[in-house]
Amino acid sequence: MPVSVARRIAFQVLRRVEAEGAYASDLLHAELGASVKPADAALATELTLGVLRQRRLLDFLLERQLKKSVDQLDLPVALALRIGAYQLRFLGKIPPRAAVNESVELVKSARKSSAAPLVNAVLRRIAEQAKAPAENLLPPNLPLAERLAILHSHPAWMVERWLSRLGDARTIALLEADNRPSRLSCALNDADRRGEILRALEKAGLRVEPGRLLKNAFAVSGGSPSQTEAFRAGQISIQDEASQAVPFLLGVHPGDRVLDLCAAPGGKTPALARAAGNAGIVIAADRHAHRLRAMAAQFKRLGLAGVRLVELDATQPLPFARGFDRIFLDAPCSGTGTLARHPEIRWRLRPEQLAEFHDLQVRMLGGALAHLAPGGRLVYSTCSIEPEENEHVVSEVLRAARSVQRAPAEEMAQALAPHLAPGVFASALFDPGGEFRTLPGQSDTDGFFAAALQSS
């Protein structure tokens, strides 16, 4: 029997995620073009991201039958088993026979026919226990971190550190949020035509909901906004609401000279450019030429002609003779605030990398501050929820920096307030230390951190 389009796409994407270190969301975007039926696109996305989110639990269930590690299997066999097990455990509307048989066909199509009997036998046994609560299958007396790591499919080291910092309830809420499909949020780039644009999206078959944080944000479901005329015309952009919010903290004024470091993929630059206006100067920098080319195409779609693109390494001395009124540094980070959107990160990240990111971020922030004009403001942000990459970076740089201090949280809140949705208060988005934070499980956004620094 032929393999369904959705399962074939999911299998190919998962294979490339594992073999090439690619991101599933990027691969799905490339694979799920207009020629793929919406139902197939939805199932391919569910299978791909579901398998990545639930990998630890799936492997635990599979290894109870295999009596060995899934990692010891050939990759195509491991993926076929995970895809089958995910359907049996989480997708009750799919007939078990279809889930088992198509996984068998997947290994055959990958020229691993010798593994077909194994896949068939293991998945049939998984099907028999599909309704049994996973909690009942765990060994007794497991430590809490290990138990939660299996049940919620996260690395145990990650769960341990969150338990120690956040406590049980907040950690469980975070783990649960990481395993829910991300809200597909968009930014409205032409507020004056809001009603017209949203009606056109609904006419195209999308369901539209208001933003939770920002008045010019909205969420869509039931289709891909990137396939709409509104997207092609630059009227909307796809962007998490917390990601949309952090550039507003910079408080850019018309005519400001603005530097956006580590700007790719360019989602935050447009807000800076619109605030600076035609009289301002906005430089968007990144170290990778191919990402700058992608940004140029993005800015063309949005009608942003005035942004200057510069290729540079932000860990090295910056090549600018004049200072900047505003600097935005959205630093490379672990991405632990985006594990629902990018679930593969949880399996790639190693605990020692947090120190590596910290050192990189300290170099970037210190170098950027050297180019902040007197009276200027810098916003440092990450999509990480780890203190090593956030408040520890800011504190270390401030200890070494002269004439630089934290900007008052009230000023950041004032800069953000005009952009918030009705009923949302800026003060609720700042912690007691005056730093902007969002946390999955507490808001329908990615986890973001931002701190503002100013020169005297």
Active site (catalytic) residues: 383
Q: What residues pair up with 285 in beta bridges, in sequence order?
A: 310
C-alpha span between 327 and 350 (Å, rounded):
30
Left if phi > 0, otherwise alpha if psi is -120 to 50, otherwise beta: which for 21? left
Cβ(11)–Cβ(79) below 8 Å: yes
Picking from 125, 137, 119, 172, the residue whose alpha carbon sits closest to that of residue 60 is 137
Per-residue buried b or exposed e for 282-317, using 16+ beta carbons within 10 Å of the residue's own CB:
bbbbbbeeebbeebeebbeebebeebebbebebeee
C-alpha span between 3 and 14 (Å, rounded):
15
What values do phi and psi take at 449, rounded to 5?
-130, 140
Q: What is the β-pairing status of strands 236-238 and 372-382?
A: unpaired
Four-residue CA torsion sign, 249, 255, 257, 260? positive
Alpha-helix residue ranges (DSSP H) falling in 152-228 = 156-166, 168-178, 194-203
